[in-house]
Amino acid sequence: MQTYEGGRYDVIVVGAGHAGSEAALASARLGQRTLVLAISLDLVAFMFCNPSIGGPAKGHVVREIDALGGEMGRHIDETYVQMRMLNTGKGPAVRALRAQADKHLYSLRMKAKLEAAPNLTLRQAMVTDLLVEDGRVSGVVTRTGAVYRAKAVVLTTGTYLGGRILIGELAYDSGPNHTQPATELAERLRALGFRMMRFQTSTPPRIDGETIDYDRLEEQPGDPEPEFFSYETTAPRPEPQLSCWLTYTRPETHAVIAANLVRSPLASGAIQSVGPRYCPSIEDKIVRFHDKPRHQIFLEPEGRGTREVYVQGMSTSLPEDVQIQVLRSMPGLERAEMMRPGYAIEYDALDPTELWPSLMTKRIEGLFTAGQLNGTSGYEEAAGQGLLAGINAARYVEGKPPVVLGRDQAYIGVMIDDLVTKGVDEPYRLLTSRAEYRLLLRHDNADLRLTPLGYEIGLISEARYRRFLDKVRQIEAERERLLTVRLRPDAETNARLAEAGLPPLENALTLSDLLRRPDVTYDALARLFPPPEPLPKAVREQVEIQIKYEGYIAKLLKDVEKQHKLEHKRLSPSLDYGAVYGLSTEGREKLMKVRPLTIGQAARIPGVTPADIAALIVHLEGRRTIEVGRHG
């Protein structure tokens, strides 16, 4: 293949899915000349699996992306067909927003945003080679012979990398949804010495919504007064929301599947790659949970401009004819027309311990990776990494230090730390239970946690930052008021309390003391003792949570403070672990592989013991002492 010089850029993003789009927009918005290369320009930010964004932990990530100046939050706010707040009764930390998306609109509009972004060039091309000079990435080569040069490259290859689709007995090389797989690039990464893993995932069939018997299904409408992902969105979409629908598998369904297990590569063992536990195929569910009499199946519209409906809960690699039988065995789907079959897909992923916490590879400088390539699953997980990879690629080009989020700061920080410190042995999904400081990483306070950082990075505009500061001031002022206004247990106060159905006071109390009572809400309190001016809902909610859960928040902050002491003890990326006295064999091996950047990170590596950490600290302090001795 004859090559030609395609052009020079600061940053090249390979892939334009959920990770690639965020990475490209961040890099371009930070002023870097950015090239995006995608295998198909018709599938920018395409939802190859469920038409939905958010939910516990994932929705938190979307808000974090928004607070840092990324796109996903406002984008889904522009393209949702349904919005629901989940876990409303389970506590402030775990409330989470989830949207059903118009997947085609989502994709089209994201493409339009990439096209319109200054500094950003969008091209359709399959990258087949990486150019590496002196251990640094210097560009990419496409299948059609273009050579693009850049100082940094972000790989977001999704399930295209070494992709192979399986439907029953049928198997063929393919990217997601029967697209071109990236085969040469997979080989190139292996040749560069990267440790690769073979992962697998699957998607359910889509059916024609006109052939569903909705009368027999349970309806799940959206919230009448929806909230939004972006802190900047103020009004709902004008169109009415679409509903999802719930049906169940029946004994007949299970019988059909059981009779055809041998024809499923997922269940028969024909697929050796590792699939996610949290997203089992329907055949896997029947085998592993054979006692369960029925499984939930959610029917989700894929958008306003299509009749296709996503059959959530029925991911499968069963043959096409069996899929049809399975579908028609369920209430409401007796006459369902399957428009596309579900399929399983195997793909190549990188062992994420190959990465620094900046998401740059340790092996090749200037090469960043994000999304499924790093062993994760999920649009939100991909977008969160994409945003950070884009930011850090841009900062790398500018010679600035990378942005690394702490575990106490963001779910994105928890995720990246888990990936690069512990590695993965199955596709990684964020769960709120992975966060040790869950009550700090709330959905409602992502802006308070991250907007100042987004502003400092350069992705939050002046105007937005000023609005943010106003909100902070309102929160502070109202908190101050509640903490200082004291109520006396006099007749007048008690009469007012009685009117609101609250027990009388026995001692003098501040308004905040009153708010801490389980039966007192902020709104009830504010009706009795209103603030000088009415406050927006987000401010009221924030004040209420901060005061009500103060004790627990303070307890966690104390843990965070302890942890920070360990995170502030930095380790050199080039530390010679062979020269550290007293490490165990396993500890030394693990440390050499991960090369942690802080003592805190080192302590989280599985197989590194407290005695190893003691040895590391002694080594560090010893060197410092010697250096201080030399210089002073």
Partner 1 sequence: MFIEETIAAVVTPLGEGGVAIIRVSGSEAIRVAEPLFRGRRPLSGLKSHTLAYGHVVDPESGAVIDEALVAVMRAPRSFTREDVVEIHVHGGVLVAKTVLSLVLRQGARLAEPGEFTLRAFLNGRIDLAQAEATIDVIRAKSEAALKAGARALQGAFGAQVRALKAGLLRLTAEIEVHIDYPEHDAPEATYVRIVEGLTDARASLESLMRAAAQGSVLRDGVETAIVGLPNAGKSSLLNAMLRSERAIVTDVPGTTRDLIEAPFVLGGIPLLLVDTAGIRETADVVEAIGVQRTREILERAALVLVVLDGSRPLTAEDASLLHAVRGRTAVVVVNKADLEVTVREDDVRSLAPSLPIVFVSAKTRSGFEALEAAVLSVLGFDAAARPETLVTANARHLELIRRAHAALDEALAAAREALPYDVILIDLRRALGALGEILGEDVRDDVIKEIFANFCLGK
Residues near partner 1 (CB under 8 A): 49-50, 55-57, 86-87, 89-94, 96, 277-281, 285, 288-289, 292, 295-296, 298, 312-313, 315, 431-434, 436, 438-439, 518, 549, 552, 555-556, 562, 565-566, 581-582, 584, 599, 606, 609-611, 613-615, 617-618, 621-622, 625-626
Task: Pick between residue 434 and residue 593 the one whose CB is nearest to partner 1.
Answer: 434
Q: Smallest gap, in angstroms, from Cβ of residue 92 to partner 1?
A: 7
Q: Smallest gap, in angstroms, from Cβ of residue 3 to partner 1?
A: 42
Q: Smallest gap, in angstroms, from Cβ of residue 432 to partner 1?
A: 6
Task: Pick between residue 488 and residue 570 the one whose CB is nearest to partner 1.
Answer: 570
Q: Smallest gap, in angstroms, from Cβ of residue 262 to partner 1?
A: 22
Could you tell me which residues are beta bridge partners of residue 152? 11
Task: Pick between residue 15 and residue 59 the one whose CB is nearest to partner 1.
Answer: 59
What's the 3-state SS for 265-316? HHHHCCCCCECCCCCCCHHHHHHHCCCCCCCEEEEEECCCCCCEEEEECCCC
Distance CA(238)–CA(78), nearest Å, equals 10
Q: Smallest gap, in angstroms, from Cβ of residue 478 to partner 1?
A: 22
| Residues in contact with 313: Cβ distance below 8 Å, sequence separation at least 6, in sequence order | 204, 282, 295, 296, 297, 298
- What is the phi/psi pair of residue 423, to 5°? 70, 180
Task: Pick between residue 148 and residue 549 the one whose CB is nearest to partner 1.
Answer: 549
Residue type for 469, please?
A: L
Distance CA(319)–CA(342), nearest Å, equals 9
Distance CA(369)–CA(156), nearest Å, equals 6
- 263 contacts 318 by C-beta, under 8 angstroms: yes
Distance CA(159)–CA(349), nearest Å, equals 8
Distance CA(236)–CA(175), nearest Å, equals 35
Distance CA(512)–CA(515), nearest Å, equals 5
Residue 444 Cα distances to 335, 385, 411, 466, 500, angstroms:
43, 21, 13, 19, 27
Mark out the alpha helices in 485-510 (DSSP H runs): 491-499
Q: Rg of the Cα trace of the chain? A: 26
Q: Smallest gap, in angstroms, from Cβ of residue 594 to partner 1?
A: 16
Length of the chain: 632
Task: Pick between residue 3 and residue 609 the one whose CB is nearest to partner 1.
Answer: 609
Q: Smallest gap, in angstroms, from Cβ of residue 22 to partner 1?
A: 22
CB atoms within 10 A of CB 154: 36
Q: Smallest gap, in angstroms, from Cβ of residue 212 to partner 1?
A: 19
∠ CA 327-429-248, rounded to 5°: 20
Q: Smallest gap, in angstroms, from Cβ of residue 569 to partner 1?
A: 9
Distance CA(215)–CA(205), nearest Å, equals 21
Task: Pick between residue 231 and residue 310 the one whose CB is nearest to partner 1.
Answer: 310
Task: Pick between residue 73 and residue 275 the one whose CB is nearest to partner 1.
Answer: 275
Element (H, E) at 211: none
Distance CA(181)–CA(194), nearest Å, equals 19
Q: Smallest gap, in angstroms, from Cβ of residue 219 to partner 1?
A: 14
- What is the phi/psi pair of residue 338, to 5°? -80, 125
Task: Pick between residue 6 and residue 375 the one whose CB is nearest to partner 1.
Answer: 375
Task: Pick between residue 530 and residue 607 the one whose CB is nearest to partner 1.
Answer: 607
Task: Pick between residue 477 and residue 524 the one whose CB is nearest to partner 1.
Answer: 524
- 15 contacts 156 by C-beta, under 8 angstroms: yes
Task: Pick between residue 41 and residue 560 the one whose CB is nearest to partner 1.
Answer: 560
Task: Pick between residue 351 and residue 436 the one whose CB is nearest to partner 1.
Answer: 436
Q: Smallest gap, in angstroms, from Cβ of residue 282 to partner 1?
A: 8
Q: Smallest gap, in angstroms, from Cβ of residue 106 to partner 1?
A: 17
- What is the phi/psi pair of residue 586, to 5°? -65, -45
- Cα dihedral 565, 566, 567, 569, rounded to 10, equals 90
Q: Smallest gap, in angstroms, from Cβ of residue 624 to partner 1?
A: 10
* Burial of residue 506, with CB atoms counted within 10 A of its CB: 0-12 exposed, 13-18 middle, 19 or more buried: exposed
Task: Pick between residue 397 and residue 435 the one whose CB is nearest to partner 1.
Answer: 435
What's the 3-state SS for 298-366? EEEECCCCCCEEEEECCCCCCCHHHHHHHHHCCCCCCCCCEEECCEEEEEEEECHHHECCCCEECCCEC
Q: Smallest gap, in angstroms, from Cβ of residue 466 to partner 1?
A: 32
- 198 contacts 375 by C-beta, under 8 angstroms: no
**Residue with structure tokens 């522009």?**
78
Q: Smallest gap, in angstroms, from Cβ of residue 274 to partner 1?
A: 14
Task: Pick between residue 56 and residue 390 the one whose CB is nearest to partner 1.
Answer: 56
Distance CA(570)–CA(473), nearest Å, equals 35
Task: Pick between residue 183 and residue 249 the one whose CB is nearest to partner 1.
Answer: 249
